[in-house]
Amino acid sequence: MPPPGSLPRRLHRASHPAGPRSLMVLFVVLVTAFAPIRQTVAAPAPWAELDRVLSPIAPKSNLLIAEFSGSGCQAIHGRDEDQRLAIASVFKLYVLGELARQIQAGTVSWTDRVVLEDGLRSMPAGDYAFAPAGTRVPVRALAEAMIWRSDNTATDHLISLLGRDNVYRALAAFGHADSAINAPLLLTRELFAIKMTQSPEWMRRYMNGSDREQLAMLKADIAPLRLNPGGGWGKWNGPTAIDGIEWFASASELCRASASLWSLGAQRGLEPVRTILTGNRDTVQDRKAWKRAGYKAGLEAGVVNMTYVLERSDGRVFFVSAGYNATRGTIDRDAAKAALRPVFTCLGLRSGPASCANRVEG
């Protein structure tokens, strides 16, 4: 499905010509279909073959396979891993990062309760979109819903609690090298409202505006809108301004953020961070090979991101992220999922990741 109108394929600010602009995205959690790891049939599968399979899936894509080393990443294999792409709801890792920072600082507690508001109601995914205003929800429950079920209403309430500017600053604090491309950081409901209701001309003006002008447009045109979670998607019917109204990060930046979160989760009082990161195993169900497995995905028309944190049975922790962007048409998610399956199989072997360059068992 073609994007509405003829939107500019460029960043909204002339001061950042090299990358797209950031805003929000359709946060529907992707469902991957990786089969359980089996270790019976060996077949050669060098990284070059993996790249050959993955690269045609979308016009723009990246890939990183790495192992955590402290709060950093040791790359095993990458392809365009420093290329920033729209990442959809994977940006919620940065919200979790700011939440962990404020809990560590003592300004927020896991047990604090947040009152749900109609003004922060977003679209699905997530059940909180349908919860009555006035419902009181613990901070930890909101964080779990944000990562496990990609709940957008939970996300927006956490951003409101933590402060939009603070969450924006967390991008740089958690290893994003050019967080300005994500300014001003949008709530999920703002992205939905923009793409569901606004014209291509409005979006063009927004992307070409300064941060101050964009915030004024959000206040005047978007803040008064109320979303109906069961009312359909309005004008949004295909890839829409994904090069300018989204969140953006590279696979390398997502790895740094994930490694930092994993490291924080080892600290007293922040143990829930690791639990939250690994609460959605998706179909990585081989618990013998993978003690814990966490999946965070982003999906919007024209955007697919699949990011994993995997703790092996021997305690080693691995990171896999594959991202795809297409301003027109569709992305074959099934092909992307199938191509990653042997990576999980190989990394799960005790022979070590170096052997993955020559052997994958599937």
pTM strictly above 0.95 = no
Q: Where are the domains of the chain?
A: 42-361
**pLDDT 10s per residue in the chain (362 long)?**
333 333 333 333 333 333 333 333 333 322 222 223 233 333 334 688 899 999 999 999 999 999 999 899 999 999 999 999 999 999 999 999 999 999 999 999 999 999 999 999 999 999 999 999 999 999 999 999 999 999 999 999 999 999 999 999 999 999 999 999 999 999 999 999 999 999 999 999 999 999 999 999 999 999 999 999 999 999 999 999 999 999 999 999 999 999 999 999 999 999 999 999 999 999 788 899 999 999 999 999 999 999 999 999 999 999 999 999 999 999 999 999 889 888 998 899 876 666 676 544 33
42-361 homologous superfamily: DD-peptidase/beta-lactamase superfamily (3.40.710.10)
The 3-state secondary structure of the chain reads CCCCCCCCCCCCCCCCCCCCCCCCCCECCCCCCCCCCCCCCEECCCHHHHHHHHHHHCCEEEEEEEEEECCEEEEEEEECCCCCEECHHHHHHHHHHHHHHHHHHCCCCCCCEEECCHHHCCCCCCHHHHCCCCCEEEHHHHHHHHHHCCCHHHHHHHHHHHCHHHHHHHHHHCCCCCHHHHCCCCCHHHHHHHHHHCCHHHHHHHHHCCHHHHHHHHHHHHCCCCCCCCCCCCCCCCCCCCCCCCCEECHHHHHHHHHHHHHHCCCCCCCHHHHHHCCCCCCCCCCCCEEEEEEEEEEECCEEEEEEEEEECCCCEEEEEEEEECCCCCCCHHHHHHHHHHHHHHHCCCCCHHHHHCCEEC
